[in-house]
Amino acid sequence: MNFASQFRAQIYTIYYFKKTDFRIINEKINTTDLKNNKVYFSKAINHWYSINKRNLPWRLSTDPYIIWLSEIILQQTRVEQGMSYFNKFSTKYPSVTDLALASEDEVLKDWEGLGYYSRARNMLATAKYISSELNGNFPSTYKEIIKLKGVGSYTAAAISSFAYNEKQAVVDGNVYRVLSRFFGISTPIDSTEGKKEFQLLANELIDNQIPSQHNQAMMEFGALQCTPKKTACEICPLKLECFAFNKGFINDLPYKSKKIKQTKRYFTYLIVRDPENLLIQKRPDKGIWANLYEFPLLESNSAQEQNELINDKNWLKTVLNDNIIVNHISDTHKHILSHQQLFARFIEIHVDAIAKISDNQLIINQQDISKYALPKLLINYLSERDDLLYLLNDN
Ligand code: SF4
């Protein structure tokens, strides 16, 4: 029996969580208590928000374009990290038409370091669509906004409520956490059933008069108060009625059923320079870091294969066809993406004059590398090597 049906049956059931196994301890409370709990929850959250909300620049605007920019940038990204990107994009591209005029390389460069690059590509595609098909007018209802590329139910609810005060409840990672802990809901948030159940509850809780503020309050509460770790329950205004706090389930909720399976990949990058130039290549338009730039790459199937490759220098001479000097071979740099773990090593090589190894490569002046969008793994590596740091400086 799921939470919604229990709720309809006026029974409040508390789940006892044990690893992936649930046992049920029945504790019935009456409907009045549950309704009171919801009223109490909404009032407390909105009151907390009025005192604790941060002054964030996108909250000063009801322009749907500005709100959309902030929401796309903040997906999977902390506010502290996203702030400089929001400032950069909203200044450089003050309207959706300005953004639509940019090239993909330009937008990827502006997005460099933020990760999940499909967001930037979808954002540009959407800007071009709005500019050419909708005369630059951002859609004004949830139903229209959700049709845009890269916009899901959460983002559509956020834009329509923040820009137009439409009554659409947002459910993001913060909201899942707050609701699951406070109401004691153990339905997996990565299941279809869980998504429906949490959305239903969020819809019931949203304030009719101030949907925009209510949504902001829910998200802010999850971001600042009901945090994933080191949760400050002792100073929480909801603690007296909070299921997770009172039953000791804070670290168990929200619950996910699937473990993300991460594949391991072994990358060996060749940083090939001659006195003036550098060799780079564009990544394919599918897979990780699509259409970004990188150094020539050799991928191995295991750490052992990668070590064998690096220890056998003969192939370098064969591939580069030149008098090469190997300046440095790095240790392994581990880089974690959502579904992949990368184990990267870098071989820094000097040659007399660079020649391309394959057709998709570019020979560029070393000073021009800062014009190309690179994955964060490469930026991190360049910034930690004194010999290479100059490549990152704008010239
Ligand atoms: S008491 Fe703790 S777990 Fe419960 S809502 Fe407050 S911060 Fe979250």
Q: Over the stretch 90-109, which tens digit does the pLDDT of each residue have? A: 999 999 999 999 999 999 99
Q: DSSP letters of 151-184?
A: --HHHHHHHHHHHH--------HHHHHHHHHHHT
Task: Choose which residue among 181, 220, 224, 241 to substitute to test ligand 1 binding: the one with the highest number of ligand atoms within 8 A of its C-beta.
Answer: 181
The CATH number linked to 357 is: 3.90.79.10
Total domains in the chain come to: 3
**Structural domain contains residue 254:** no
Centre of ligand 1 to C-alpha 226, Å, is 5
Domain-ending residue, one of 131, 164, 197: 164
Residues 209 and 293 in one domain: no
Structural domain range at position 388: 263-392
Residues 105 and 195 in one domain: no
What residue owns the CA closest to ligand 1's atom 8?
Answer: 226
CB atoms within 10 A of CB 246: 13
pLDDT tens-digit map of 102-147? 999 999 999 999 999 999 999 999 999 999 999 999 999 999 999 9
CB atoms within 10 A of CB 281: 17
Centre of ligand 1 to C-alpha 26, Å, is 22
Residues 72/123, Cβ–Cβ less than 8 Å: yes
Domain-ending residue, one of 199, 217, 247: 247
Q: What is the pLDDT, as a whole number, of residue 346?
A: 96
The CATH number linked to 65 is: 1.10.340.30
Q: What is the pLDDT, as a whole number, of residue 253?
A: 93
CB atoms within 10 A of CB 234: 7
Contacts (Cβ under 8 Å, ≥6 apart) of 251: none
Residues 157 and 17 in one domain: no
The residue ranking higher by pLDDT, 221 or 28, is: 221
Percent of the chain residues past pLDDT 90, beyond the cut: 72
For ligand 1, whether the C-beta of 253 sits within 6 Å is: no
Residues 355 and 281 in one domain: yes
Contacts (Cβ under 8 Å, ≥6 apart) of 234: none
pLDDT tens-digit map of 51-71? 999 999 999 999 999 999 999
**Structural domain contains residue 255:** no
**Structural domain contains residue 81:** yes
Residues 367 and 278 in one domain: yes
Q: What is the pLDDT, as a whole number, of residue 39?
A: 83
d(CA 282, CA 356): 13
**Residue 327 main-chain phi, psi, to 5 deg:** -85, -35
**Structural domain contains residue 272:** yes
For ligand 1, whether the C-beta of 224 sits within 6 Å is: no
Which residue among the candidates 27, 71, 220, 241 is catalytic per the annotation?
A: 71
pLDDT higher than 70, residue 394: no
Q: What is the pLDDT, as a whole number, of residue 322?
A: 61
Residues 61 and 125 in one domain: yes
Determine the average pLDDT of the residues in 347-365.
Answer: 89
Task: Choose which residue among 229, 245, 255 to substitute to test ligand 1 binding: the one with the highest number of ligand atoms within 8 A of its C-beta.
Answer: 245
Q: What is the pLDDT, as a whole number, of residue 357?
A: 81
**Structural domain contains residue 196:** yes
- 104: annotated active-site residue: no
Instruction: Report the predicted TM-score, pTM, of the whole model to 2 decimal places.
Output: 0.80
pLDDT tens-digit map of 187-203? 999 999 999 999 999 99
**Structural domain contains residue 230:** yes
Residues 273 and 354 in one domain: yes
Residues 145 and 175 in one domain: no
Burial code (b: 16+ CB inside 10 Å, e: under 16) for 130-151 equals: bbeeeeeebbeebeebbebebb
Q: What is the pLDDT, as a whole number, of residue 387?
A: 86
Domain-ending residue, one of 164, 187, 222: 164
pLDDT tens-digit map of 196-241? 999 999 999 998 889 999 999 999 999 999 999 999 999 999 999 8
Burial code (b: 16+ CB inside 10 Å, e: under 16) for 332-352 equals: ebebebeeeebbbbbbbbbbe
For ligand 1, whether the C-beta of 99 sits within 6 Å is: no
Task: Choose which residue among 250, 251, 253, 255 to substitute to test ligand 1 binding: the one with the highest number of ligand atoms within 8 A of its C-beta.
Answer: 250
Residues 63 and 128 in one domain: yes
Q: Tell me the pLDDT band of 355, cut-offs 50, 70 and 90.
A: confident
Residues 341 and 283 in one domain: yes
Residues 78 and 154 in one domain: yes
Q: Residue type at 259?
A: K
**Structural domain contains residue 128:** yes
pLDDT higher than 50, residue 275: yes
Residues 85 and 234 in one domain: no
d(CA 52, CA 231): 16
